[in-house]
């Protein structure tokens, strides 16, 4: 499943290529892809046609694009995108794809395509609501009426470690997050995967962050020192920034940015997908265990359970 760096790569590409271009027409080729739209495809088309995409904002794995009307005024809703397991946003001027689900055609002839082979992703036009903490909606929010708003379906999602309010490891946002992590009585990996606590960390980056911090995935958060929790969060932020620089983690042709280029961070993974291979740090074979209907990969020597 695409994780935060993949979605951030796409957000940056959308911000570069499609903002401000009036939408001339909208086509829904697979109704399931707009299943979250209460009024169905007709409402989805009507809310987008004639508008322009005003910004590209992300929180965790959710991406949204606030809308501006033909009169130039900011509107109180946004195009919300969740990629699911195989979703892509592609910016192009032509071409077809067998998994094309929704197509936005701009007045200049360019297109923004939502492609989704497995159809677990979706797009919808959602109402914008104020953020609970009064801060910007997410990374990419620009000054204006929608800066401190986010789509209603995203209101329960926590900020992510690349968010301006959490990015500083010594800032008040990160300090409060450390406190909230330690307040729970659960394994540290469960806490990292809790999207209401901190969003955007998936299975791959959780394993990689815990390896960097030398912490076992099932170490209880209430027994971890503040400094150790802070180190895990910082490791997660560093892993995701490294992956972002590589364009995300691509394992097949499904995971590409808006221009169709794949990421290559998978070549730098230390534990995920490396069961039985030597730990890059100490040489001990990597172990993979069942965890929450998925798996946890770790080094039994570097990440001993206490």
Q: Report the candidate in 241, 200, 191, 197 with the shortest Cα–Cα distance to residue 220.
A: 191
Q: Quick one: DSSP state of residue 85?
A: T
Q: Quick one: DSSP state of residue 285?
A: B
Q: Quick one: DSSP state of residue 280?
A: T
| Three-class DSSP category at 242 | helix
The answer to whether 76 and 127 have CB atoms below 8 angstroms apart is yes
Q: Report the candidate in 206, 303, 298 with the shortest Cα–Cα distance to residue 249.
A: 206
Which stretches of 132-172 are assigned E, i.e. beta strand? 149-151
Helices (H) and strands (E) in the chain, counts: 6, 12
Instruction: Based on the residue annotation, tell me whether 61 is a catalytic residue of this protein.
Output: yes
Among the listed residues 32, 294, 304, 305, the single catalytic one is 294
Instruction: Based on the residue annotation, tell me whether 3 is a catalytic residue of this protein.
Output: yes
Q: Report the candidate in 306, 220, 235, 226 with the shortest Cα–Cα distance to residue 271.
A: 235
Among the listed residues 11, 51, 61, 212, the single catalytic one is 61
d(CA 216, CA 205): 14
Among the listed residues 3, 6, 8, 208, the single catalytic one is 3
Structure tokens at 105: 């055609």
d(CA 156, CA 74): 24
Instruction: Based on the residue annotation, tell me whether 176 is a catalytic residue of this protein.
Output: no
The sign one gets for the Cα dihedral 281, 287, 291, 294 is positive
Token pair 């030398």 is found at 214
Q: Which residues are catalytic?
A: 2-3, 61, 294
């Amino acid at each position: 499943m695409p994780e935060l760096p993949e979605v951030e790569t796409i957000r940056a590409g959308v911000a570069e290529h499609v903002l401000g271009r009036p939408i001339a027409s909208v086509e829904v080729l697979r109704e399931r892809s707009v299943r979250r739209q209460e009024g169905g495809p007709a409402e989805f088309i009507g809310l987008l046609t004639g508008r322009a995409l005003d910004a590209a904002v992300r929180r965790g794995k959710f991406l949204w694009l606030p809308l501006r009307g033909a009169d130039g005024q900011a509107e109180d809703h946004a195009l919300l995108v969740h990629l699911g397991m195989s979703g892509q946003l592609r910016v192009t001027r032509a071409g077809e794809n067998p998994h094309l689900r929704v197509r936005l055609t701009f007045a200049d002839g360019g297109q923004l395509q939502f492609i989704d082979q497995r159809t677990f992703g979706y797009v919808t036009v959602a109402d914008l609501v104020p953020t609970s903490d009064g801060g910007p909606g997410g990374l990419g929010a620009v000054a204006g009426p929608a800066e401190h708003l986010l789509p209603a379906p995203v209101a329960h999602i926590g900020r992510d470690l690349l968010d301006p309010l959490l990015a500083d490891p010594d800032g008040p946002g990160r300090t409060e997050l450390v406190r909230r992590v330690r307040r729970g009585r659960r394994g540290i990996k469960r806490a990292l995967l809790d999207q209401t606590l901190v969003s955007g960390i998936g299975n791959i980056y959780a394993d990689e962050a815990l390896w960097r911090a030398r912490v076992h995935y099932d170490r209880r958060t209430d027994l971890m020192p503040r400094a150790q929790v802070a180190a895990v969060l910082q490791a997660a932020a560093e892993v995701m920034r490294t992956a972002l620089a590589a364009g995300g983690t691509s394992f097949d042709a499904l995971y590409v940015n808006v221009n169709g280029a794949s990421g290559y961070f998978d070549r730098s993974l230390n534990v995920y997908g490396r069961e039985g291979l030597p730990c890059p740090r100490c040489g001990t074979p990597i172990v993979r265990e069942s965890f929450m209907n998925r798996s946890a990969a770790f080094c039994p020597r570097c990440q001993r359970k206490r």
